[in-house]
Structure formats: C-alpha cells, structure tokens
Chains A and B, each alone.
Chain A
Amino acid sequence: MSHEHTARSHTGRHHHHKGGHRHDTGGSSIDFYACHSRIRHWNPGFRVGFSIILLLFCILANHPAVSCVIILTAAWITVGMGGLSFRRYFSVLTIPITFILLGSAAVAVDFSRQPIGDFHLYLFWGYLYLTYESLLNTLFLILKVFGAVSAMFIMTLSTPSHELFSVLRKARCPSLIVELMHMIYRYIFILMEVQRNMRISAESRLGFGDFKTSCYSFGQIASNLFIIALKKANAYYDAMEARCYDGTFAFLEEEHQANPKHLIAAGIYLTALMSFWLAIR
C-alpha cells in the first residue's frame, strides 16, 4: 500500500541515511525529525520566540565569538536535548552550508585591473584577488550566518508545522495566510505521494530509459499531476462541506503552558550571552 511506503521510507532512512532515498531528502526529513524531537512538549511559542531572539542577537552582536557560542549551544539544544543524532543534524546543516560557502566566496573575492591583494589570479581581462582582511571578514560572516541558521534550526527541528501555524495565528498573522499554509502543507505530501507513485509506475514501464523518453514521461507526469490536483481539490471540498465547513478553518489547538523553568533558563542563558558579548566587545 502506498501510504505504508511513505512510513517505511522514513523509518528506512534511520538505518541507512547515506544509502538510497536521495530523491526526497531535505524538506520531508526535517518535518519527520521535528515530529520526533524530545523537546516537542515545550511550549511552541516559547521555542519559536527563543530561536528568533537568538537569531536576532547573533546578527546584531556581529561578533565571531558570540556566533561560535550560539553555534555550539544551538547544536547542544537540538542534539543533546532534542535527541536528534549528530550525524542527522549535520546532514540537515549541509543544505545551508552549501549556500553559505558559495555565497561567501563571492564576498571574499574581488576584482581589479592591477595585480593587488595578498593573493591574486590573472584572468585575461584582469585580476581576481584576495586579501587577508577580506578572508577574515568572510570567515566571520560565515560564522555569523551559521550561528543564525543554527538558532533557527532549534525551531525548525523541534516544531512540526501545525504547531508553527498555531503560533503564527496567535501572533495575529492574517488567517487567510495561516489557512493557506495549512492546506499547502497537507497538499505537498499528497502530491508528492501521487507523483512518486506515477514515477515508479512509469519507471517500471521503462519510461525513464533514455533522455528523450525521460523528458516525455516527466511531461506526462507533470500534466497528469495537475489534473489530479484539480480532482483532489474537488473531493476535498466535498469532504469539508460534509463536515459543515462554512468558510473558516478552525482546529482545536493544544495549550501547552510555558514551563517557568524553561523561561528562567532561557533568561539566564540570554543574559549570560549578552554579558559575554559586552565583556569582549
């Protein structure tokens, strides 16, 4: 059965993450980790708030030592307290790391007509050059971005989407947007499932044998997916109507009271971080 395939492919990833299943890493595995985090019972508002404050602090402080502290503590919260294995945490981080490294390379390297800088490379229309200072600045920038990303991952890797939506709703985000997020999130997984099944069935009929047939199969699957999306939207609407849908999306939301211990610990941590920054500034 197709649904069981989803469940199995996710549990399968536990055992051989580096093995197969390369086609659907990223988004869906982050979602899976979030659902199994050990710090999920914390108040979602607190988790989201804490990681956003930490993120902002990392950017505003703009100091490599502060960034390092945040990188380490964020890893400790997600891995140590959240119970995510270090290898998986690292594999999730590789996604932003790639972008960070590519992006900062552009910041580090400059362009000139003269051979200046500490290192330079002649290209026939001019020179690409690097200085020690620009290298150091880039390193600090990488640390800062990396710190900010780690802070954000405290939230991402412990908050399943429905909790995030309810936090957004409580934060007075327009209900139209929150409702759309709800539906889009649910729909992504349904369409992924449908797409995977169609792809597998095309593959089993040699639909991806060579480049030309691959293009053809891909096009067929894409257009079919569109039609199925429309059909499913109709079926969905009927099912919602049958349950008295009247135009507003309303779900029961769990009230996790924020644990005072967590608030105090977060307060102490942020104060310590602040004083550390003030001391070394």
Chain B
Amino acid sequence: MNEPILQVNDLHYYYNDNQAALNGISVSIYPGERIAVIGSNGAGKSTFFLNINGVLSPEHGEIFYHGTKITKKSLPELRKNIGIVFQDADNQIIASSVKAEISFGPMNLKLPREEVSRRVNMAMEYMNITEYGDRPPHYLSGGEKKRVAIADIIAMEPDVIIFDEPTAALDPLNAVMLEEVLEKLSAEQKTLLISTHDVDFAYRWAERVLVFCDGQIIADGTPLSVFQNDEVVKKASLTRPVMLDVYEELVRNGLLADAGVYPRDMREFRELIGK
C-alpha cells in the first residue's frame, strides 16, 4: 500500500492526572480511506480527533503527517489539512452571518480575498445553502446549521475531514443529505473519518472500522470482520448491524445459499434475494 497520510504512534493523553483518555493509540490512515470510528461514550473518540487535529497536545506519542513528524512548529500544517466538523454545530458557528462564518477558516489560512470569496461560494453551493448566505445562524434550523458547519470545513479544502457524530440530532431527510455529501467527498478522494453510534451506517458506509474502548483501539479492520468478532462487539458494548444479522439468520435457516457475499444495504440485499 502507498504511504500513509497520517500516522499515529503510541499516543497517550490524560484529562486528569489519574485517568487516561487515550492510552497508547497507534494507527495509520491512508489517503482516500472511509473510516468509521465507533465505541461507547467516553471511549476517547473525540479526544483522539482533537489530538490528531493538533488542538490538544498529547502527553506522549508521535503524529506523522505525510511522513513528517508534527512538532509545535508544524502544528498549523496539521490544522490546515485536517478539518473537524464538530458534533454540536452551535459550538462551532461563531460568526453572525452564514457567509462570514464560512469565510472564517479560509481567512485564517491567509488566502487572498478573491480566493476566500471563491471558496465560500463553492462551499455554499456544495452544501446547497447559497440562499441562506446573509442570515444570522440563530435563525437556522438544526439541519441547516449542520450544513453550515460542514461548509465551514469544505471551504478550507482539507485532505482529511473528520466528522464527530454527524448523524446525531439529524432528521431522516438531513441524514440522507449527509450521506450524499459523504459520497461526494469520497468521490473526490478525500480521506474521511466519522465517529458514530449508528452501527448500520458504519456497516454500509465504511471500508474500515476502528473500535475504541477505554482509550484504546481494540479492533481495526473491515466492517464485516469487526462485527463478526463477537468478543469485540461485547467488549465495546456494540450491537450488530441489522443487515448482518438478517443475512446470517437467512443462511442458517437455509433460505439463502452462503455465497459469502454480505449485503451492506437494502439495495444489495434486494439484488441478492432477487437472483
């Protein structure tokens, strides 16, 4: 495989002196990967994200971006190229109009005015919020705020985009919109990391799953291998994806031949039973 875009070696982080929030995280992330990060509340997912974005600095451990070790000096480089869409859009939106808000990141990158303006318009079109440009954020609905929060990061054009529980607090329609955006970003070869509690989403969307438990990564592999590993599922208090259960149940009862082709969503499932 090619060179990792981001490499983390033995990362430790403590919130208070006694309890480790991250306890020896090592992982390599390759360009264009679609990674779902799962694990119960307080397992260290958000802390991990803030560490690889350079907002929090680890007690101990190394981060490499494109093979270069991140030091205090190269920290801005890390923040420039890795964007986080925070879970609560209200904790992210700071400006008093949508356009100004989206321009905050590009302005901090010290880009020329025309470039900032181009990126803001591009990001608003991308998220389909051009018509809200002049509105103050407090007159937007929850779904609209989420779009603004995503546009914030798209305008910075990072290589890696992290979504911290993006599906939480979204209605079904906005959740579909979010998946379309993720699909589009994937097609553009962006590296995506998404933390989620929605195992069905992780199962159908991700090509790699990281399972966090008590500040450690206890499993790292394809969704199928992770969710078939009962020990991991139990230890991280996960549930199995419905699609996986249904498929295995059908095979066990002899209703379906075991061809080893696991359907990930309804479309694939229909194709499978249609055959």
Contacts and interface: CB of A to CB of B under 8 A. Distances in A.
A171 B53 CA distance: 37
B53 A242 contact: yes
Interface string B107-141: 11100010011001000000000000011111111
A236 interface: yes
Contacts of B95: 162, 182, 186, 251
B111 to A, nearest CB: 10
B208 to A, nearest CB: 23
A235 B91 contact: yes
A237 to B, nearest CB: 9
Interface stretch (A2-10, A84-92, A114-122, A139-147): A2-10
A215 interface: no
Given A244-B109, A250-B104, A254-B99, A186 B141 contact: no
Interface residues of B, number: 48
A32 B109 CA distance: 32
Given A240-B94, A252-B117, A245 B108 contact: yes
Main secondary structure of the interface of A (DSSP, over half): helix
A252 B100 contact: yes
B139 A243 contact: no
Nearest to A10: B139
A186 B79 contact: no
Interface range for A? 35 or more
A210 interface: no
A175 B90 CA distance: 24
A35 interface: yes
B154 to A, nearest CB: 12
A252 B99 contact: yes
Nearest to B98: A162
B246 interface: no
Contacts of B169: 1
B151 interface: no
Chain B binding surface, main DSSP class: helix
Given A244-B79, A251-B95, A3 B100 contact: no
A183 interface: yes
Nearest to A164: B96
B39 interface: no
Interface string A1-37: 1111011001000000000000000000001100100
Nearest to B106: A252
B210 interface: no
B156 interface: yes
**Among the interface residues B56, B91, B103, B113, which one has the most CB atoms of the partner chain A within 10 A?**
B91
A241 to B, nearest CB: 5
A161 B96 contact: yes
A189 interface: yes
Contacts of B92: 239
Contacts of A240: 94, 104
B97 interface: yes
Given A161-B96, A251-B104, A3 B79 contact: no
A55 B156 CA distance: 43
Contacts of B137: 186
A243 B105 contact: yes
A45 to B, nearest CB: 16
A110 interface: no
Contacts of B117: 252
B91 A246 contact: no
Interface string A24-57: 0000000110010000100000000000000000
Contact of A6 (B55, B97, B134, B138): B138
Nearest to B53: A242
B50 interface: yes
Contacts of B79: 241-244
Contacts of A136: none
A244 B96 contact: no
Interface stretch (B8-16, B80-88, B178-186): B80-88
A72 B70 CA distance: 65
A186 B94 contact: yes
A4 B92 CA distance: 18
23 contacts: A3-B141, A3-B142, A6-B138, A35-B136, A160-B134, A162-B96, A182-B94, A182-B95, A186-B96, A238-B86, A239-B91, A240-B94, A241-B79, A242-B55, A242-B83, A243-B104, A243-B105, A243-B152, A252-B99, A252-B103, A252-B106, A252-B107, A253-B100
Interface of A: 1-4, 6-7, 10, 31-32, 35, 40, 160-162, 165, 182-183, 185-186, 189-190, 193, 232, 235-236, 238-246, 250-254
